[in-house]
Amino acid sequence: MMIRLALLSLVAAQPAFALSCLAPSAARSAAEAVSAEEVFHVAVGTFAYDEVELPAGGASIEPTETSIPAVFEGRALTQAGFTGEISGQVILQVECIGPSCGSVPADTETLAFFRESAGEMVLDVNACPNWVYPEPTEAQLETVRACVLDGDCAEG
């Protein structure tokens, strides 16, 4: 009887999926952007897009990506801080790994690290968020500014 129960539990077992992510860190994201081969632009502002286009995720453990056009309005990081007015089309590159998908809230002040790709501003919205920080604190903004402009990229 015990063997039969053990076999039944193996047959009835469903695949488990758990995504393990490092805790998001604006300091780590800034350091990665500074050291990356790609060109990154850092800005804080809001996104406007059709949230219905956000993917729902699925059962596959293979990453999938969905490109969503958006409009971003805000302030880009310049030598004087987050002072450069910015407004225009961007691409949200939303990643899903299994049921977990990245997201970025529309109409919410967000710190974003845009990757330049073929002349377009692309925001990688990963299942493990590392380029998107909704409602950033002044401390996060200062940490990013210090890393990008002054080279002080120590995590605090």
Here the tokens at position 129 are 């968020």
Supply the pLDDT for residue 18: 55
> Do residues 148 and 30 make contact, with C-beta atoms less than 8 angstroms apart?
yes
**CA max distance for the chain:** 74
Supply the pLDDT for residue 61: 73
pTM of the model: 0.83
Can you name the residues that pair with 76 across neighbouring β-strands?
43, 84
Tens-binned pLDDT, residue by residue, of the chain (156 aa): 444 433 333 333 334 445 678 888 999 999 999 999 999 999 999 999 998 888 887 777 778 899 999 999 999 999 999 999 999 999 999 999 888 899 999 999 999 999 999 999 999 999 888 999 999 999 999 999 999 999 998 765
Domain residue ranges of the chain, discontinuous segments joined by +? 38-150
**Residue among 60, 65, 38, 57 at smallest CA distance from 120:** 38
Supply the pLDDT for residue 130: 92
Judged by DSSP in three states, 141 sits in helix
> Do residues 113 and 129 make contact, with C-beta atoms less than 8 angstroms apart?
no
- The top-level CATH class assigned to 38-150 is mainly beta
Supply the pLDDT for residue 19: 62
> Do residues 24 and 102 make contact, with C-beta atoms less than 8 angstroms apart?
no
DSSP run (H or E) holding 98: none
